[in-house]
Amino acid sequence: MTQDEMKLAVAQAAVEYIKPKLTADSIVGVGTGSTANFFIDELAKISHLFGGAVASSEATAERLKGHGIDVFDMNSVDQMEVYVDGADEFDGRMNLIKGGGGALTREKIVADVAREFVCIVDESKKVDLLGNFPLPVEVIPMARSQVARALVKLDCMPVYREGFVTDNGNVILDLEGMQIEQPAELEATINNIVGVVTNGLFARRGADVVLMGTPNGVETIS
Ligand code: 5RP
C-alpha cells in the first residue's frame, strides 16, 4: 500500500467516523495538508448531511468551496461538532506536532472550538518521542530575531522558513534538534515568548482520536 493509499483510507475512515455525529446544522472543522485534502474530497460526497465547514487555511477554504461546501467565518461559529486534520508527528499519547504546511495557528484555533478533534495520519507519522520533525513556531515578523535568540536558550536550532508567509501575514521558525519529553510544558513555554503567535505542539489540546493508516488497515487510537 502506498502512502497516498493510506491517506485515502484514513480520509474515508474519518468520514465514516463523523457521519453518525452530523446533523443538517453541523459545522465541520477542516484541516490543512495532503491528508486533509483527501478528507475534503471524501467529505464532499456527504455534503448533504451537514451545514458547512470552517477552514484552517485559505487553501482548504478554496478546496471546500470548489466542492460547493459552504465555508463559514470562524467568528460566526460558536459550536463545532468535529475537527478533522492531519499531523506531522504523533506520539501515541495524543500529542502532535503540526504546522508543516504553516497553518498551525488557524488549526489550533479551530481545534480549540471543536468538541472532538479527529487526527488522520499514515503510520509514517508515529514516533516514540516528538521532535524529529522540526517544530514550527509562528512569529510576528518584527520579532523574528529576538524570538530566535530566546528559542536558542531552549537547546534547539531555529531555522527561518525563507520565502514563506502564513495566512496571518507572519513568519515561521522551524525548531530543529528537539527531543520533546514534556510536550504540554514546552508548548506553554514557547507560547510565552513575546512575539510568538503560537507553536505547532498540540498537547494541551491534543487529538481525541487518531485514525492511523497502516498497510493492514486503519487503526483507531483513543
Ligand atoms: C499543516 C499541518 C498538516 O496537518 C501537517 O503538515 C500534515 O500534512 P500532510 O497530511 O500533508 O502530511 O499541520 O499546517
Please tell me the predicted confidence (pLDDT) of residue 185: 98
The whole-chain average pLDDT of the chain stands at 97
**Order of strands, sheet of 96-97, starting from the edge strand that comes earlier in the sequence:** 89-90, 96-97, 201-202
**Order of strands, sheet of 80-85, starting from the edge strand that comes earlier in the sequence:** 52-55, 27-30, 80-85, 114-122, 209-214, 217-221
158 - beta bridge partners?
Answer: 175
Q: Give the separation between CA 71 and CA 55, rounded to whole angstroms.
A: 7
- In this prediction, residue 16 has a pLDDT band, given cuts at 50, 70 and 90, of very high
What average pLDDT does this structure show over 168-173? 98
Report the residue among 2, 3, 10, 35 best suited for mutation to probe ligand 1: largest number of ligand atoms under 8 A from its CB: 35
The candidate with the shortest Cα–Cα distance to 7, out of 214, 168, 205, is: 214
What average pLDDT does this structure show over 40-44? 98
- In this prediction, residue 19 has a pLDDT band, given cuts at 50, 70 and 90, of very high
Per-residue pLDDT tens over the stretch 133-153: 999 999 999 999 999 999 999
Q: How far is the CA of 90 from the centre of ligand 1 (A)?
A: 12
Pairing of strands 96-97, 89-90: antiparallel
Position 89, amino acid: E
Q: How far is the CA of 174 from the centre of ligand 1 (A)?
A: 14
Position 110, amino acid: V
Per-residue pLDDT tens over the stretch 76-108: 999 999 999 999 999 999 999 999 999 999 999
Q: Whose CA is nearest to atom 8 of ligand 1?
A: 33
- In this prediction, residue 131 has a pLDDT band, given cuts at 50, 70 and 90, of very high
Please tell me the predicted confidence (pLDDT) of residue 1: 86
Q: What DSSP assignment string belongs to 67-110?
A: TT--B--GGG-S-EEEEEE--SEE-SSS-EE--TTS-HHHHHHH
Residue 197 pLDDT greater than 90, yes or no:
yes
